[in-house]
Structure 1
Amino acid sequence: MADRSPTMSEDFPTEFDTPQDNPGFLLWTITSRWQRQVRQVLDPLNLTHAQFVLLASLGWLCTREAHITQIRLADHAQMDPMTTSQVLRTLEQKGWVTRLPHPRDTRAKVLQVTPEGHTMIEQSIPLVEAVDRAFFAELGPEAVALFKKLDQRSS
């Protein structure tokens, strides 16, 4: 019997010949590359990707709904409530978001974007959208359809 190294593919517990054949691994590496590019354009603004997502989401929600709560924002951004709370605290410290008393629920706070926060949204969205356009350009309009299909499956 031949001495077989534990690193040989037939001894490795996967159905895939290579990591690049595994859709989960591919999604991970693609997402990492895209996030790295987004981070590069947001770093000069002193804005993390999570801060951007919550700030832009809050800005968008405020144009469509009244009385946006932390839970509503977390649901919209698909971010866990604890992370949302921590990121919102930082956005508030930066002066980009305020928390005001809710008119009907004494336990809740209403989130609002400050004028400085609006300025940050106006600066950051075009930068991130430029990254998105360049990164996903080869996929064309099929990219959005694919992502929507994946998003529906994960709900």
Structure 2
Amino acid sequence: MDDRPPRLASGFTEAEHSTGLLLWQVTNRWQAAQRAALKPHELTHVQFVLLASLAWLQADGPVTQRQLADHAATDPMMTSQVLRALEARGLVHRPPHPQDRRARALAVTDEGRALADRAVVAVESCDSAFFAALGADVGAFTRALRTLGRS
């Protein structure tokens, strides 16, 4: 007689066949690697993403908080909180929006730009090492992620 409880009522016979579980596991490992890569720069991963995204976007003109949150796919309220932390560190500021006198734009300070430029090297190196196991399939994986990102 088996006293073990029944398995989860899953459609999978093996847990490692679940795409969602695998994505969860890989994401957690990747985030841990990114945290380690960003630690010397004293940035959290979300701080880096918003700082780097802002530096990227502002090359095309003034950036609003909504544009930044949409680009980074972050929650607007969390984006606001992280921006306040970056602003307190002198990495971003909110100058008047040149086309809308009632609004503020977001901009990276010179110190923020220098930090983003240093940190992106660490992040991209971390990504290269992490995804190296995919070998020649990394391009297909990136395209698949782009597809999922659009859905």
Residue 119 of structure 1: how far off its partner (Å):
1.2
The percentage of counterpart residues that share the same residue type is: 47
**CA-based RMSD:** 1.7
Q: In structure 1, what is the equivalent of residue 4 of structure 2?
A: 5
Residue 18 of structure 1: how far off its partner (Å):
2.4
Whole-Å separation in 1 of the counterparts to 2:19 and 2:53: 28
Whole-Å separation in 2 of the counterparts to 1:87 and 1:112: 14
1:103-142 to 2 correspondence within 5 Å? 103-142=98-137
Residue 96 of structure 1, aligned match among 81, 91, 100: 91
The alignment partner of 2:106 has SS state of strand
Q: 2:51 aligned with 1:49, yes or no?
A: no
Shift of the 107–81 alpha-carbon distance from structure 1 to 2, 3 Å rule, reads farther
User: Normalising to structure 2: TM-score of the pair?
Assistant: 0.90
Q: In structure 2, what is the equivalent of residue 149 of structure 1?
A: 144
Whole-Å separation in 2 of the counterparts to 1:60 and 1:119: 13
Large movers: runs of 4+ above 3 Å: none
Deviations 1:77-110 (A, max 9, x none): 1111111111111110110000112123344311
Whole-Å separation in 2 of the counterparts to 1:108 and 1:89: 16
Gaps of 5+ in 1: none
Whole-Å separation in 2 of the counterparts to 1:89 and 1:141: 41
Whole-Å separation in 2 of the counterparts to 1:153 and 1:122: 28
Deviations 1:20-49 (A, max 9, x none): 111100000001001001101111221000
The alignment partner of 1:103 has SS state of coil
The alignment partner of 1:42 has SS state of helix
